[in-house]
Amino acid sequence: MPVNPSTATAIVSGVGAGLYGVVRWTQARREAEQDGLGGVTESGSVEEKIPISQTILGQTACATVAGWFQVYSGGIAIDCVATRLQAGFSPSQALYGVERMPAQLSMQLRLQMLRQSNLYAGHFVTMLSRFPYLFLNFNAYTQTDHALLRHNGGDLSRMKTFGEEFACVTSATVISSTAICAAECPKILDQLKGVKSEHGRETVYGVLSKYGPRRLMQGYTACFCREFLFNIALLGSPTLAARLRAQYVLPNRQDSSVAQFMDGKEGIVSSLGLGITFGFLTNGPDQMKTNIQKGQFLNMREAVAWQVQQPGGMLALFGRAALWRAAFIAQAVVAINFARSRMEGYITAVENLEEGDSYMKIFTA
């Protein structure tokens, strides 16, 4: 799916402005230190230790890049198929936009049908919503982490406990669920149209003006349940990767072939493992949210009561659509964490540039 030129320009400009801000911030800190104003004080000791990549500015740049990368690296197409399956579409309808596929089709014709089935429906509103969603998600998590860091004496090398990780994930979920619930309402309405509609794209403003805020936020409870499971995978996987490396890979690297294979791949392994597991589990609340947002139910209580009465009960939520959902979440967790870690690395490289160094050094380090 080609990206709108104005959208691409806005993204590149935002990332460039963010990197420029990091450079200016770094220069200001160095000048302050040279003037004797940047020393570590008792009240500001923790803030002085925190790298720029973990500040609001740094995480804003990460949110911009990670959101765009996740959507256009295939995430929206997988999500579209999962959404259609959840809504009761047959597999051929979900993938190709037709009720029944002919027995024999060439690969070229299949690809042409895939293009016409509008698998990237809702991509624009989803891409636009990724920034506020990830901005809130990343910053709520890191700011809670910083508050815990101040409470525990400011030791950056100390790993969070399970309770502290739970608190960080919960705070991020409470805040970010509001943004994603509002953004996904028009996306769901777009995706359920199937083939390209003559009525144009749905937007947050359009839904808000036609139906009001209650309709826009319909399904928030189910969204929160889904996002909490998703955030365990997304925000918890970097912590799991660090623990995996410190407690398993490094101590066993010389003797274990598994540890040798995982060496340097802890991030991908933890992202895939948590992404597939919790992605599968998110299908329950996600399917109820889809049914609520398309207007079948008013709230999660009605959705649960109806689902319990269906053949298979609640377990029926974990069928074919759950497998697609697991694939979507795994892709999202891997793509977002990959883009975020790369962006944090670039920001750290900019922060560590010495005076007179070329900016190209950040891409070759």
DSSP secondary structure code for residue 246 in this structure: I
Half-sphere CA count of 202, side-chain side, radius 13 A? 23
* 36/294: higher pLDDT: 294
DSSP secondary structure code for residue 3 in this structure: P
- Lowest pLDDT segment from 166-180, 200-214, 230-244, 265-279: 200-214
CB-CB neighbours of 13 under 10 Å: 10
Distance CA(285)–CA(8), nearest Å, equals 33
Distance CA(270)–CA(165), nearest Å, equals 15
Give the pLDDT score at 219.
Answer: 86
Give the pLDDT score at 216.
Answer: 84
Question: In which residue are the tokens 């502290």 written?
Answer: 164
In the chain, what is the straight-line distance between the N-terminal and C-terminal CA atoms, in Å? 32
pLDDT at 34 exceeding the cut of 60: no
Is the distance from CB of 168 to CB of 145 less than 8 angstroms? yes
User: Which pLDDT band, with edges at 50, 70 and 90, does 22 fall under?
Assistant: low
User: Which pLDDT band, with edges at 50, 70 and 90, does 106 fall under?
Assistant: confident
Amino acid, single-letter form, for residue 340: R
Cα dist from 69 to 161, 261, 333, whole Å: 31, 27, 11
Cα dist from 353 to 159, 260, 318, whole Å: 28, 32, 50
Distance CA(52)–CA(43), nearest Å, equals 18
Distance CA(289)–CA(148), nearest Å, equals 33
Half-sphere CA count of 3, side-chain side, radius 13 A? 17
User: Which pLDDT band, with edges at 50, 70 and 90, does 169 fall under?
Assistant: very high
Of residues 274, 273, 279, the one with CA closest to residue 322? 279
pLDDT at 355 exceeding the cut of 70: no
Half-sphere CA count of 69, side-chain side, radius 13 A? 22
Give the pLDDT score at 237.
Answer: 94
Cα dist from 62 to 1, 155, 236, 262, 350, whole Å: 23, 24, 17, 25, 14
Question: SS3 for 131?
Answer: helix
pLDDT at 160 exceeding the cut of 90: no
Domains and CATH numbers, the chain: 5-38+46-364 (1.50.40)
- Lowest pLDDT segment from 29-43, 100-114, 172-186, 282-296: 29-43
pLDDT at 24 exceeding the cut of 70: no
Distance CA(240)–CA(328), nearest Å, equals 20
* 21/294: higher pLDDT: 294
CB-CB neighbours of 143 under 10 Å: 18
Q: Kind and range of the H or E element at 12? A: helix 5-34
Instruction: Dump pLDDT digits (tens) for 202-257.
Output: 777 787 788 788 888 888 899 999 999 999 999 999 999 999 999 999 999 998 99
Distance CA(178)–CA(59), nearest Å, equals 19
* 311/355: higher pLDDT: 311
Q: How much is the mean pLDDT over the chain?
A: 80
b/e per residue, 240-273, with b = 16+ CB within 10 A? Answer: bbeebbeeebeeeeeeeeebeebeeebbbbbbbb
- Lowest pLDDT segment from 41-50, 108-117, 186-195, 339-348: 41-50
Give the pLDDT score at 17.
Answer: 54
Question: Which pair of tokens denotes residue 351?
Answer: 């922060």
pLDDT at 302 exceeding the cut of 70: yes
Three-state SS annotation for 276-329: HHHHHHCHHHHHHHHHHHCCCCCCHHHHHHHHHCCCCHHHHHCCHHHHHHHHHH
